[in-house]
Every structure is written in C-alpha cells, then in structure tokens.
Amino acid sequence: MKTIFGPIHSRRFGVSLGIDLSPSFKQCNFDCLYCELAPAATVDHQDTVVSVKEIITDLKAALKEHRNIDEITITANGEPTLYPHLDQLIDEIDKIKEEKETLILTNSATLTDEAVFNTLLKLDKVKLSLDAVTPEVFKKIDRPHPSLKINDVVSAIERFSHAYRGKLFIEILFVRGLNDTKEEIAALNDVLKKIKALRIDIGTIDRPPAYPVEGISYGELHSIATQFDADLPINIASRQHAEFVQSAYTEEEIINTLDKRPLTQEDIEILFDATTQKALQELIDAKKVIKIERAKLEFYIPAENVQRKRKKS
C-alpha cells in the first residue's frame, strides 16, 4: 500500500511529502458535503490500520529520494487523527525528520479526546478545519458522526490554541447557502477572536464535491473576509477567482481596503485594475504602504497600521 505521496508544492505550506494514514479507502468521522472523496458512512475509529513500521520504511525511502523537503504532512483519505498509533508515529518521524517540520491536516473533531489533544501538541504545525460553529450548520455541512458536538469541538480548539507552542492554522471552507450567511460568519468571528492562530485561511470548493453543492465566488470570499474583525489574520486561499472583475480604487480606497484586510500580491492582481495597481506601487514607493510577512505569505498593509501598533505596545 502506498502511504507516501508528493512532493507537493504549496504556496501556503512550502514543499512537503504527504503521509496517507488511510491509503486504501475513506475512513472519516465527517462526511462533508464538499469532500473531494466519495461519500461514505462516518466512523469513529479506523478498522483498517497501516503499521507504523510500514509508514516509516516508506517515509525513509521517500526522504532519501527527495532532499529538498520543507515539511512532512500527515493526512489521510479521511481523518488522520483516527489513526490509532498517531502518537507513536509522530515520535518515530521526529527521529528521522532532521530540520523538516511536521504538519497535520485535521477536521478538529477529535481534539475533544485528551489523548489526541496531547499528541497534536508534539507537531511543529497544525491545521484545524472549522467550517461552522452553530450546531445546525455544522450538521448540515460536515455531516459528523453522531457522537460529535460542535460546542465541545470549539472549546477544545480554543483550549488547544492556548496550550500549543507550534504554528497553528485554521481553515474555513465556505459552501453557498450554508455557512456563508451573515449570522454564521458573525458566530465564527466570535469564536475566532478567542483562538490564537497564526493564520486563518478562508476558501471555497475548488474540486468536484461529494454532493451537489456549490462554492462561492472570489468576490463573495473577499466580502466575507471584510466581515471578520480586522485584526484576525484572515487569508483568502482560493483558486476560484477567474470570474472576478478587477476594479478601480482611489488612493483613499486602497488604504481603506488594506486597513480592513491586508492583501497578498495575488489578491491585488485579482482585485485591482492596472491603474489601481500603479497607484498602489506609488503608495509603496512613498512608504505609505508596506509589506509584512505572516506565516510564509507576504501581505500589503498601510504603514500607519504598524506605527499605530507600535504606539499601543
């Protein structure tokens, strides 16, 4: 069975080798409407389990072949934290990873289990998905195993974010008509304010989903980004922007937009027309707009924001 895949080049996470902890079929405690895998009944444990020995043997071989790897990403056809030997596996990876960082991509639900919570503390990076925080929307979009309650998951995420010493990322995937309402965004905002995350990636469906649901446009994602508190580290992570029309912004509008929501170069090329991009360059030359780095991504922000923060501290 093939447990290692990649290397994958990701703008957000660098070059990584992936470990698939459920290589033969989907084993997940969610059955998300937007899942890129086929629909499947939810489970709360793995029935088919690969051995740690097999994974480490495959990983050693892959690391020998691919030398320029930034990180080792633990994932699965399904939910990787259902893997019963995760703790032991992380210890074994730590012995051979050298300067590479470990990352797990999880749907967050098993953080309510103290053993999983403590195991994830060992990783260099953790990415937690959180699509909804109200029970109705959570049930509709993520279709969780009946044993899972979103209030418990949210409390566990909050507690984890304060206990964890590594780099924590949150990911929210928006589905049209489900979690893109003003009410759900406001509820998500209240929760996110209590979570200590390095970056919050918001995105939408960009691969064929398991069920007939639709993603939202880049413009809608951008509008959602502005509904979150301005000091939350929101990043629009989406390839769904081909249909978005560039607009003209005045100098004041550029500053206001960047003040509300720092933008990456990619966002700028999508949102701003050529004249606005030129005006932005002039603001950069005049040092009224500066570039900052946040978890590997570069963002443009008004220079005044940095001065404001310095005065506060």
Which residues form the interface with ligand SF4 (CB under 6 A)? Answer: 28, 30-32, 35, 37, 78-79, 107
**In the complex, what is the shortest distance from the CB of residue 29 to ligand SF4, in angstroms, rounded to a whole number?**
7
Q: Which is nearer to ligand SF4, 31 or 71 (CB)?
A: 31
Q: Are strands 297-302 and 289-294 parallel, antiparallel or unpaired?
A: antiparallel
Residue with tokens 């003040």: 259
Nearer to ligand SF4, 71 or 131 (CB): 131
With H, G, I as helix, E, B as strand and everything else as coil, classify residue 306. helix
- Contact at 8 Å (CB) between 116 and 46? no
Query: What is the nearest approach in angstroms of ligand SF4 to the Cβ of residue 33?
Result: 9
- Separation of alpha carbons 172 and 37, rounded Å: 18
Q: Cα–Cα distance between 202 and 105 in angstroms, integer?
A: 15
Q: Closer to ligand SF4 by CB, 188 or 297: give it.
A: 188
Within 10 angstroms of residue 292's Cβ, the number of other Cβ atoms is 12
Token digits of residue 29: 């405690």
We find the least distance from the C-beta atom of residue 270 to ligand SF4, in angstroms, to be 25
Q: How far is the CB of 70 from ligand SF4 (least distance, A)?
A: 23
Nearest to ligand SF4 of 69, 156 (CB atom) = 156
Q: Give the residue with the Cβ less far from ligand SF4, 36 or 229.
A: 36
Give min distance, CB of 197 to ligand SF4, in A. 19
The encoded tokens of residue 177 equal: 């008509």
Q: Which residues are CB-contacts of 176 (< 8 A; sequence separation ≥ 6)? A: 213, 214, 215, 216
